[in-house]
Amino acid sequence: MNKRDHKIYLRDKQNLDSRLVRKQYEDQPDSMFKDANIHYQIAERTRAIGFGGIGALHRLVCKLGLDREINKNIVLLKVHVPYWESDHVLNIAYNVLTGGTCLEDIERLRNDETYLNALDAERIPDPTTAGDFLRRFEDETWIFALQETINETRAKVWALQDSSFRKEAVIDADGTIAGTTGECKEGMDIAYNGIWGYAPLIVTLANTNEVLYLINRPGSRPSNDGAAAWMDLAIDRVTPVFKKVWLRGDTDFSLTHNFDRWDERVGFVFGYDAKPNLVAMADALPERRWKALERPARYEVKTEERERPENVKEKVVKEREFKNIRLRSEQVAEFDYCPTHCSKTYRMVVVRKNLTVEKGENRLFDDVRYFFYITNDRKMTAQEIVFFANDRCNQENVIGQLKSGVNALRMLSDGLMSNWAYMVIAALAWNLKAWYGLVTLEPAARRDILRMEFKRFLGSFVQIPCQIVSTGRRLVYRILTYSRHLETFLATFDHIRELKFT
């Protein structure tokens, strides 16, 4: 940020702070929203877009060389008249980054001359052409090549991080259901819960919430179907960068055939089904082996603790005498266990939940339930293993963002492969958010961006009104407003411009 921009930034910050400072108002004679004398005019020379942050993300893509690598590794077009493969991929990804939820939203960008000027593009593919490009992914070969191209680019971002970042990697795997109301989509099937659609498998890096691999499958496939091979690929991808690698998943991913092989490469913690033999072993444990499980508070109260409001849900459950299960206490213990398909013995951590089943005001009976976690780690305490396994729940938030924030799991095309291709390209928009956060210099801002919901990221760092000015040999994005994220945005963009990769 040069001296002039810094001066303007400080002035705008002071102006906004003075307007929002806490003050004791007197009774106001009128509302804050005034009936102003509003008029609209068309600017003769000045042109602007509402999502000026797209320039910084495009600059990051070009600096990383992702566009060039896509053109080199993905060969779906015999001739380029006029678009290249990277044009199609980035067109769909940028549509998501500018708030688009379907291919038809590309039309608003295609008809926005200022947007075309902002990317120095004469034209971009229309929605029909974008759909045709997705259908060119006729088998998984090119989809896999696209994911590997993105992953190779991702490694460049990881290489910029300090040693603390590369200390440990946690790979999460989970499946979900992506429903559709269509009836003619190739590869769709009915899932266990009666929803028609597909059953994507999602492998993520918990450290940054990045999507490493996204695999589309018919809706009838179980969560763990084919998961081991993709988890192996994720291990291969992160092992050269991180000193310690973990695999983590729920009970569906306790793939015991692979435990001995994974034990030689990574640490793992998986949920394990409460089978009768395990329940019997837990019941047989002496009481002295059980320790109280003390869960930390969700957050620290920095001021005075507020009075808890009335639990309306609990009140309704009691009034209508619904069945209600209350948790009374939790204990944790452990024992050694050798799964059927393993030649090695592993550590089985078990949580015993003491429950009370109530109906209205009446206590019906007490119940005990066991939850099992299997791991090859011998250093963490049993309590730490439980908390580590429970942290996997954050992947549900990532999947939720892919579904409703990024809209990557919408079935926009007519086949299994074309919808898979869209999932991967739309997920690239989510990954670009993570990469942008990783190249941010300020640690607090980096953590904030990595944890942001997609909608908030767009509002903070993409939806920035900018005037687009082409002058000399420069394409200038002239920012037209102030926000509290502006200093971070400008500092990050300056850093992106200075990045150099071999």
Per-residue pLDDT tens over the stretch 327-362: 999 999 999 999 989 999 999 999 999 999 988 888
Three-state DSSP class for residue 491: helix
Q: Using CA atoms, how far apart are residues 369 and 173, in angstroms rounded to an integer?
A: 25
The confidence band for 42, taking pLDDT boundaries of 50, 70 and 90, is low
Q: CB count, 10 Å around CB of 317? A: 16
Residue 92 has pLDDT above 80, yes or no: yes
- DSSP letter assigned to residue 489: H
Is the torsion defined by CA of 396, 398, 401, 407 positive or negative? negative
The beta-strand segments (E) located in 48-177 are: 48-49, 168-175
Q: Which of 36-50, 231-245, 252-266, 477-491 has the lowest mean pLDDT?
A: 36-50
Q: What is the pTM of this model?
A: 0.90
* Residue range 42-60: mean pLDDT, rounded: 87
Phi, psi of 308 (to 5 degrees): -70, 130
Count, in order, helices (H) and strands (E) of the chain: 18, 15
Domain ranges, ordered by start, for the chain: 263-294+312-381
Per-residue model confidence as pLDDT tens digits over 404-426: 999 999 999 999 999 999 999 99
Q: CB count, 10 Å around CB of 496? A: 20
Q: Which of 72-86, 289-303, 318-332 has the lowest mean pLDDT?
A: 289-303
Amino acid at the residue 67: D
Amino acid at the residue 216: N
pLDDT confidence of residue 298: 74
Q: Using CA atoms, how far apart are residues 259 and 339, in angstroms rounded to an integer?
A: 9
Phi, psi of 279 (to 5 degrees): -60, -40
Per-residue model confidence as pLDDT tens digits over 470-496: 887 889 999 998 888 999 999 999 999
Q: Which residues pair with 469 in a beta bridge?
A: 476
The confidence band for 21, taking pLDDT boundaries of 50, 70 and 90, is confident
* Residue range 194-207: mean pLDDT, rounded: 95
pLDDT confidence of residue 311: 87
Tokens of 488: 């971070």
Amino acid at the residue 103: L
Residue 66 has pLDDT above 70, yes or no: yes
Angle at 162 between CA 157 and CA 165, to 5 degrees: 80
Three-state DSSP class for residue 191: coil
Tokens of 438: 């990783």
What residue has token string 């994911």?
A: 147
Report how far Cα 337 is from the mean position of its chain's Cα atoms: 34
Q: Using CA atoms, how far apart are residues 91 and 86, in angstroms rounded to an integer?
A: 8
Q: Using CA atoms, how far apart are residues 192 and 25, in angstroms rounded to an integer?
A: 59
Q: Looking at per-residue confidence, does 318 or 97 come out higher?
A: 97
What residue has token string 């450290």?
A: 207
Tokens of 185: 């989509």
Amino acid at the residue 326: R
Q: Using CA atoms, how far apart are residues 187 and 12, in angstroms rounded to an integer?
A: 54
Residue pair 428/447 in contact (Cβ under 8 Å)? The answer is no
The full length of the chain comes to 502
Q: Looking at per-residue confidence, does 75 or 7 come out higher?
A: 75
Q: Using CA atoms, how far apart are residues 438 and 247, in angstroms rounded to an integer?
A: 22
Q: Which of 257-261, 276-280, 303-307, 324-328 has the lowest mean pLDDT?
A: 303-307
